[in-house]
Amino acid sequence: MTAEQLPGAPRIAWRGDDLCMENLRLADLAHAYGTPLFVYSKASMLDALGAYQRGFAGRKLQICYAMKANSSLGVLQVFAQAGCGFDIVSGGELERVLAAGGEPKKVIFSGVGKTRAEMKQALQAGIGCFNVESEAELEVLSAVAVGLGAVAPVSIRVNPDVDPKTHPYISTGLKGNKFGVAQERTLDAYRRAASLPGLKVVGIDCHIGSQITEDSPYLDAMDRILDLVTAIEAAGIPIHHIDFGGGLGINYNGDTPPQADALWMQLFAKLDSRGFGNRHFMIEPGRSLVGNAGVCLTEVLYLKPGELKNFCIIDAAMNDLPRPAMYQAFHAIVQLATSTAAPSTYDVVGPICESGDWIGRDRELAVQQGDLLAVLSAGAYCMSMSSNYNTRGRAAEVLVDGTTAHVIRERESAADQMRGEKLIG
Ligand code: LLP
């Protein structure tokens, strides 16, 4: 595969015979730190952030990185240092933000099932906003805040019932989804929120899905949200900020999502025409900030030719890269160096004892045992969704910054995995 054919790998390029990220040879990193190894480009993350910043130039914006996409501390630190806030969905994520130097007041807390303990933890940390996802949650949050003598800043997540035209598992803004408050219920929910003693309404939010590659779902959702803001404010409840969620897709396999700046140019044309352009905005991008900044390096353990299929067995597996098994997702797989091996078509699979443990199907590769491969677009929803299935330690992670490689996570040992477990006596 030539450099031009690498889908969505902006800081990855061939230098002679070697595939490089920024100024480092990926093969050198694999040799130095072992495989499977996640490698991220800091410049690529900042480039992606820059596209949003351009789209919002001259506007009032807080970017809250949806850290579920990749919550490794070193990655969070890059975004915290760039001035980002964070969209969290658990108390554990809040602890990570604080450990990485993030500012609590730039944190927003999403999720349909916040526990009382998590609400308390977030109130005590002084987060910026709770994105409340149901009317029942409003009641509980108010009670928890009153119990602490605090007032919780809230926004209600609206389910605008638009089809994001993406994989059903990652659509979130349709009527049948568990997320948010139905559009028709929103005004009543705001009236209730405004009447509760432990809450202060500060915003409105929506998030319609993930890996969205078209602009029309965003434009439709925006119209519906603006209609609601108009109705809520007419009822005497001011809305300080509009949070438009995340969801922008990336190029995995020739996908052509709109660029963040182009998308927001269109959205601002609508916002300006409807008189909302000077509001405070928040967004919650995850995948589009980190997805194409990362690769997973892996070694070919064995080639296993077969009657129906040829298998290329690698040392990364579904515990490291769960997206193909979960969503039949496509990740490009490229070789780190040119090879003299004869090309053949392989299913690229991991060592885990499941037929679902595949990383790529029917891939043309010219590989031999011991060769190194890179699984592309692996910066988002890979490490953060990884598991210890088959007692496989989590991979190590390296963040590349120019000519420097920072190890941001050590490879997990079996002892790390067994910590906290006890024999019965
Ligand atoms: N805000 C909320 C409330 C969310 O639920 C999500 C993602 C985001 C923001 C960030 O969305 P993004 O910009 O990353 O699309 N594991 C799946 C993706 C699940 C997305 C869940 N919510 C995958 O690997 O494709």
Q: Do 183 and 249 belong together in one domain?
A: yes
301 plus 253 within the same structural domain: no
The CATH code of the domain that includes 148 is 3.20.20.10
Residue 182 belongs to a domain: yes
Per-residue pLDDT tens digits for 229-245:
999 999 999 999 999 99
Do 206 and 330 lie in one domain? The reply is: no
Task: Say how many domains are in the chain.
Answer: 2
Atom from ligand 1 closest to the CA of residue 110 = 3
**For position 59, what pLDDT does the model report?**
97
Residue 210 lies in a domain: yes
Verify whether residue 382 is a known catalytic residue. no
> Do 142 and 226 reside in the same domain of the chain?
yes
For residue 354, the model assigns a pLDDT of 95
322 CA to centre of ligand 1 in angstroms: 15
Is residue 121 a contact partner of residue 168, using CB atoms and an 8 Å limit? no
Q: How far apart are CA 316 and CA 75, in angstroms?
A: 21
Confidence (pLDDT) at 3: 47
* 320 and 399 housed in the same domain: yes
Residue 71 lies in a domain: no
- Output the pLDDT for position 176: 76
At 265, list the tokens: 């140019």
Q: Would 81 be classed as within a structural domain?
A: no
Residues 278 and 351 in one domain: no
Sole residue written with tokens 């070694």: 299
Whether residue 259 sits in one domain with residue 118: yes
Shared domain for 181 and 166, answered yes or no, is yes
Residue-averaged pLDDT of the chain: 95
Residue where a domain stops, chosen among 238, 266, 285: 285
Structure tokens at 338: 């040119």
Q: What is the CATH number of the domain that holds 322?
A: 2.40.37.10
* pLDDT number for residue 5: 57
Residue 241 Cβ < 6 Å to ligand 1 = no
Instruction: Give the number of the atom of ligand 1 that is nearest the alpha carbon of residue 291.
Output: 14
For ligand 1, whether the C-beta of 379 sits within 6 Å is: no
Q: What sections of 165-316 are H helices per DSSP?
A: 183-195, 216-234, 260-273, 287-290
Q: Which domain holds residue 213?
A: 110-285
Q: Is the CB of 397 under 6 A from ligand 1?
A: no
Distance from residue 285's CA to the centre of ligand 1 (Å): 8
Query: Does 149 share its domain with 228?
Result: yes
Tell me which of 285, 314, 332 is where a domain ends. 285
- Please give the distance, rounded to the nearest whole angstrom, from the Cα atom of residue 341 to the centre of ligand 1: 39
Please write down the HEC assignment for all residues of 129-176. Answer: EEEECCHHHHHHHHHHHHHHCCCEEEEEEEECCCCCCCCHHHECCCCC
Atom of ligand 1 nearest to the CA of 322: 24
| Sequence-ordered alpha helix ranges (H) in 208-363 | 216-234, 260-273, 287-290, 323-327
In a domain, 17, yes or no: yes
Domain boundary among 225, 253, 285: 285
| Catalytic option among 129, 296, 312, 353 | 353
Q: What is the pLDDT of residue 161?
A: 85
Is 65 a member of any domain?
no
List of the chain residues with pLDDT < 70:
1-5, 169-171, 173
Q: Is residue 346 a part of any domain in this protein?
A: yes
Residues 263 and 299 in one domain: no
132 and 30, same structural domain? no
Looking at the fold, whether 155 and 279 belong to one and the same domain comes out as: yes
Q: Give the tens place of pLDDT for each residue, 350-380.
A: 999 999 999 999 999 999 999 999 999 999 9
Name beta bridge partners: 348: 312, 360
Residue nearest to atom 23 of ligand 1 (CA): 381
